[in-house]
Chain A
């Protein structure tokens, strides 16, 4: 069999999930077949993305023009290492989340599961679009589509609370992107005449600093998915969705699409030298630092487990934003690695939160006392995950944090250095304390024996936990992938 050209593979990355969702719709009467199709689609997508990756990491750079809606500005797909990493991450975790979702959705007896799987697949297709966007216009387009595709997942339960959250979700994400992001894109198009990503930035020498600064601020605030304060409220609101959605989309795919966009814009639209000369970049990185601390403090006060994790995510996303804005290679390395490390750590935590919900119908941190004896596997995984979020060994989070810290030192930002270190302490306090309560405090209501979540949930938790630890022991591959990037910067 002839292996198709890389351009075709790129297009397939968008088409496979959409076709999958079509078949999911056709098989809506047969739940087992339907879930089988979800899994097959996920595996096919990951295989496809891996095939692209094997070529990209050897230096190939496939491109594909989809359409040209405005003369000179195209909708196009192109791959560079950062997007490749993001696509690999999202497509791999989709398989794991699908396994988890099967256990969760059935265990929890959710309605409208077909709709759930359809929109899940469509969201993944949009994420692939974001990851492989070849220019700023394409990035914007898929960014918006992603918002719309996830809306039905957020409002899945259809209750008054879900509707209200859906309103906040759509309101903040579409408003910020339509007003700030789109304005910045159009302005860039007028200023430069091209929107194609290119190494070292695209703004010509001698662009007024205030223009660049304003544009950077428009981009950072316009990309609401990165949840920098004060545009973070949509993320806790989105937690009303079923847990697999929170796990994959609101800990990995959607929020990472946000910070990925910021990172990509910093690297390929502004470039390091522009960032260094901008006072605004420094102010924004301080705002990111503020978000890291403030979100952690809010997280402490949250008793609802998913809400606490959501605020923790807000805090962690600002790590990446901060790294992106610092604009030196250590910080960019750290930011890219953190996208991956945080993804595995946080998805583990969400999986655990969902497992606790399915097995024991507990939502609040205060109810988890002694649960470690009933769900030792889940609580153990939770412990590993929270260590990774805090950036402690033996987990992947340590390496990314290490490079981020180096980045702040390189940039001479002592305040931000302290922010990162303080954040570790806060994380220990509000995350690592949860499994400790679970193992050492006495049970509130006695439960006899071990009662874990359904098997598919446990498999998923096992895989992500293993990788979290694995990336600590064998970080070379991740580092090489990222440093392959760094040399090109």
Chain B
């Protein structure tokens, strides 16, 4: 039996090693199977890590036995164990869905490449999350970014290429900013280990170099996070990527970026330094704008995938809003929404995957009146949509409740109103889609389809069902988010 330290290393090394092996398997189905098995194994590892940190406490693994700050260390605590589980879990569920969808959307000679990129992307996302080394963050970030450009570019629509390129440009600028920031920190502190930087910064924090580093890093992460108004790459990328890639990235990539933001704000720079700067004010304005603008723009989208993408911009706003409150309750609400939103958006993008699988399009105009032909898929869309709105007994409601509570707790009632107004806008964009799918006359009668196959419906409903389950039983989601928020605020359990 592997020790917990070894498990932490396996979390990264196994998908990294399996990725080229997958490429060697020319058969798409076998490549898929190996990827799925790897991903599920990583989910198991992540759950072991989470159980360990919750029961025993955080731990550090030194790679190759080189002690920090010379070597690289992986630090696992409640916060990143939680994110690791979200990332690997969502990857596994989406992969269950992937085989048929990929077989339909991607040419046979590119399928194993697709799965290779997937595993590399997974490696990168897990790596960013688990590592305790600032430069290592950049390295893993680039691994995940480069592979996600590939994933997006494999979309059937030729516009996938331009949107991937757009993302590449923006993503690279973001990564460069992060690198510059880390460089500045290295100049000031002479170390790349996050814990070490944090310790040394406490003496020298109020210099202009450190503040510049902070600004570069926040803006850089903001780009990867699609923080309004740096979100312009996101709608196209999600809209034209293959269905499963949209679901995977929507449920994981931005979550990891948010984790990165929290790690830098709370662990590296420290709470006092970060919030002495006008971070709270900036975030509250940007995130409120994200919620309102993102939702309004979502109302006018014809393509359902773009609609969900703009809704993601708004939902990222909710997470940042929680962060901007600068309280433990707000932070906990943000972390909770990371989990809840992963479940909601993952589920909804899989629903669209089902529609695309049968109709070959996510355009609302072409899908009008066709919801009735796929009743289970349509029902899943409604259930997921309700969660997005924040109707009771769904995860969306739980998030909203926690966020409004946290905002009112410090008397920020305008923030509470923004959150609630976001719900109203969400009704409009969700219900517009529901109406068109159900009530509009069918645009062309020739195409009568069957319900999506069980292989697609099961993972979809697994996530949609999780929406309802975690909307009622919040022991796990709120429980872990609370512990993680406490850990970030105080550094103790």
Contacts and interface: CB of A to CB of B under 8 A. Distances in A.
| B is a partner of A | yes
Contact-residue size bin, chain B (C-beta under 8 Å from the other chain): 20 to 34
B424 A158 contact: no
Given A175-B427, A189-B405, A155 B439 contact: yes
Given A163-B435, A179-B417, A190 B392 contact: no
22 contacts: A69-B472, A70-B398, A71-B478, A75-B472, A141-B392, A163-B435, A163-B439, A170-B431, A171-B427, A174-B391, A174-B427, A178-B424, A178-B427, A179-B420, A182-B401, A183-B404, A183-B416, A183-B420, A186-B404, A186-B405, A190-B405, A190-B408
Interface in A49-101: 67, 69-71, 75
Contacts of B386: 148
A167 B431 contact: yes
Given A141-B393, A145-B393, A158-B439, A175 B405 contact: no
Given A148-B391, A170-B431, A178 B423 contact: yes
B13 interface: no
B490 interface: no
Given A70-B478, A141-B392, A178 B471 contact: no
Contacts of A190: 405, 408-409
A140 B397 CA distance: 12
A144 B405 contact: no
B390 interface: yes
B420 A178 contact: yes
Contact of B474 (A69, A166, A174, A175): A69
A187 interface: yes
Interface in A151-204: 155, 158, 163, 166-167, 170-171, 174-175, 178-179, 182-183, 186-187, 189-190
Q: Is the interface of B mostly helix, strand, loop or mixed?
A: helix
**9 A-B pairs with the lowest CB-CB distances in the bound complex, closest first:** A141-B392, A178-B423, A179-B420, A186-B404, A175-B424, A69-B474, A67-B472, A144-B392, A163-B439
B279 to A, nearest CB: 25
B443 interface: no
Contacts of A189: 405
A175 B423 CA distance: 8
A144 B391 contact: yes
A70 B474 contact: yes
A179 B424 contact: yes
Interface string B398-422: 1011101100110000001100110
A182 B420 contact: yes
A190 B406 CA distance: 9
A145 B392 contact: yes
Nearest to B423: A178
Nearest to B407: A186
Given A69-B401, A69-B471, A183-B417, 7 more contacts: A178-B423, A182-B401, A183-B416, A183-B420, A186-B408, A187-B408, A190-B409
A67 B472 CA distance: 7
B374 to A, nearest CB: 16
A148 B471 CA distance: 17
Given A144-B391, A148-B391, A163-B435, A170 B427 contact: yes
B473 A67 contact: yes
Interface string A332-361: 000000000000000000000000000000
Interface of A: 67, 69-71, 75, 140-141, 144-145, 148, 155, 158, 163, 166-167, 170-171, 174-175, 178-179, 182-183, 186-187, 189-190
Interface in B464-493: 471-474, 478
Nearest to B382: A148
Contacts of A187: 408
B431 to A, nearest CB: 6
Nearest to B420: A179
A69 B390 contact: no
Nearest to B473: A67
Nearest to A152: B438
A187 B408 CA distance: 7
Contacts of B471: 69
A187 B402 CA distance: 12
Contacts of A167: 431, 435
A179 B474 CA distance: 23
B356 to A, nearest CB: 26
Contacts of A166: 435
A69 B396 CA distance: 13
A392 B434 CA distance: 46
B398 A69 contact: yes
Contacts of B393: 141, 145
Nearest to A155: B439
Contacts of B472: 67, 69, 75
A178 B422 CA distance: 10
Contact of A70 (B401, B417, B421, B427): B401
Contact of B401 (A148, A170, A175, A186): A186
Contacts of B398: 69-70
A267 B401 CA distance: 25
Contacts of B405: 186, 189-190
Nearest to A160: B439
Nearest to A159: B439
Contacts of A178: 389-390, 420, 423-424, 427
A15 to B, nearest CB: 16
Nearest to B424: A175
B211 to A, nearest CB: 35
Given A145-B392, A190-B409, A182 B473 contact: no
A208 B89 CA distance: 48
Nearest to A147: B391
B35 to A, nearest CB: 36
A144 B471 CA distance: 14
Nearest to A151: B431
A166 B434 CA distance: 12
Contacts of B392: 140-141, 144-145
A186 B423 CA distance: 15
A187 B417 CA distance: 12
Nearest to B475: A68
Contacts of B400: 182
A228 to B, nearest CB: 19
A155 B431 CA distance: 13
A144 B393 CA distance: 10
A189 B389 CA distance: 22
Nearest to B435: A163
Contact of A69 (B417, B423, B473): B473
Interface string B273-312: 0000000000000000000000000000000000000000
A257 B389 CA distance: 22
Interface centre among A69, A140, A182 (most CB of B within 10 A): A69
Nearest to B409: A190
Contacts of A75: 472
B355 to A, nearest CB: 21
Contacts of A71: 478
Contact of A174 (B404, B408, B424): B424
A182 B435 contact: no
A71 B473 CA distance: 11
Contacts of B417: 179, 183
Contacts of B389: 174, 178
Nearest to A181: B420
B210 to A, nearest CB: 37
A183 B414 CA distance: 11
B121 to A, nearest CB: 34
Contacts of A174: 389, 391, 423-424, 427
A195 to B, nearest CB: 12
A148 B421 CA distance: 19
Nearest to A163: B439
Interface centre among B398, B401, B421, B474 (most CB of A within 10 A): B401
A70 B473 CA distance: 9
